[in-house]
Amino acid sequence: MVSGEYGFFIDPQRCIGCRSCVAACAECGTHRGHSMIHLDEVDRLASTQTGPTVCMHCEDPICAMSCPADAIKRSEDGVVHASQKPRCIACQNCELSCPFGVPMVLPGLEQMLKCDLCYDRTSLGQRPMCATVCPSQALLFAPRHEVAGMRASQPLREFQIGSLRVKTRNAIMVPDPGTPLNLDAGLLCDGGF
């Protein structure tokens, strides 16, 4: 069981796009050989900014809500796990419903896999693979009370996606965490994408 004191913090401002996390994720024992991290280049022509996307582990996991096979479960510590192999029917509902675009139904495997916070490690008190290798600490697994004093940015765990308010276990570090971060894709489209 992952200690509730520890949180996972994603700071895109610190990401240098080295892809160490992508490589390390594929080493995780629960999904060995498959990396569960998406590393996105935000606007490659204009910026070197990159952003890692890992599962946010929602308090009301939409992927699990949309799963018709009851294959996605959340453990007591708030970690939303990858689908259970005997149940998953690879329908991709979770892929379509996740507001962060995290779950992946792997071709050939016919099963949804996603970040499970390296449960084999974090349940024993170790850090997830990605957090151990990230050179700029853009991915950080640390006690929540320590993070506030470590960074200028502060953790945000509440997001507004359309009419949906999503609270998560993992946090994104933002300069001004006062209001829920609006992740409406429609706004991005209007902005010129």
Binding interface with other proteins (CB under 8 A): 60-61, 64-65, 70, 72-76, 81
Minimum Å gap between C-beta 138 and other proteins is 29
Minimum Å gap between C-beta 137 and other proteins is 31
Minimum Å gap between C-beta 57 and other proteins is 12
Minimum Å gap between C-beta 64 and other proteins is 4
Residue pair 58/168 in contact (Cβ under 8 Å)? The answer is yes
State the Cα–Cα distance between residues 63 and 187, nearest whole angstrom. Answer: 23
When the beta carbons of 24 and 79 are compared against other proteins, the nearer one is 79
When the beta carbons of 72 and 131 are compared against other proteins, the nearer one is 72
Of residues 17, 72, 6, the one with CA closest to residue 39: 17
106 dihedral zone (left: phi>0; alpha: psi -120 to 50; beta): beta
Minimum Å gap between C-beta 79 and other proteins is 9
Between CA 77 and CA 128, with CA 150 as vertex, the angle to 5 degrees is: 40
State the Cα–Cα distance between residues 85 and 102, nearest whole angstrom. Answer: 18
68 C-beta neighbours (distance < 10 Å), count: 10
When the beta carbons of 66 and 136 are compared against other proteins, the nearer one is 66
Of residues 105, 129, 99, 106, the one with CA closest to residue 116: 129
When the beta carbons of 28 and 79 are compared against other proteins, the nearer one is 79
When the beta carbons of 72 and 130 are compared against other proteins, the nearer one is 72
Of residues 66, 68, 94, 91, the one with CA closest to residue 82: 94
Minimum Å gap between C-beta 75 and other proteins is 5
State the Cα–Cα distance between residues 80 and 169, nearest whole angstrom. Answer: 9
When the beta carbons of 1 and 106 are compared against other proteins, the nearer one is 1
